[in-house]
Structure 1
Amino acid sequence: MQLDLNLLAALDALLEEGSVAGAAARLHVTAPAMSRSLGRIRRTTGDQILVRTGRTMTPTPYAIAVREQVHELLHQVHGVLAPSRELDLATLERTFTLRWHDSLIALSGPALLSAVREQAPGVRLRFVAESSTDTPELRRGEVDLEANANRPSAPDIRTESVGETHLVVVVRQDHPLTRLKTFTAQQYAAAEHITVSRRGNLSNALDDALAQLGLSRRVVASAPTEAAALEFARTSDLLLCVPDATTRSAVTDLGLAVLPFPLELPSAPVYLSWHHRYDTDPAHAWLRGLARTALTMDGAPS
Structure 2
Amino acid sequence: MLSKVSVVLNDRLAMFEFGVVCEVFGLDRTADGLPGFDFRVCGAEPGKPLNSSSPGISVTPQYGLEELLDSDLVAIPAFPFSAGMALDQSIVDAVRDAAQRGATVLTVCSGAFLAGEAGLLDNRKCTTHWRYVDQLAQRFPLATVDPDVLYVDEGNLITSAGTAAGIDACLHLVRRELGSTVANAVARRMVVPPQRDGGQRQFIERPVVDCSSDSLSETLNWMGEQLELPHTVESLAARTAMSTRTFARRFAAETGTTPVKWLTGQRILLAKQLLEDTDMDLETLANRCGFGSGALLRHHFQRLVGIAPAEYRRRFGARAS
More strand by share: 1
Tell which structure's C-alpha radius of gyration is larger: 1
Q: TM-score range by the shorter chain?
A: under 0.3
TM-score between the two structures when normalised by the length of structure 2 = 0.26
Higher RCO, 1 vs 2 (CA within 8 Å, ≥6 residues apart) = 1
TM-score between the two structures when normalised by the length of structure 1 = 0.27
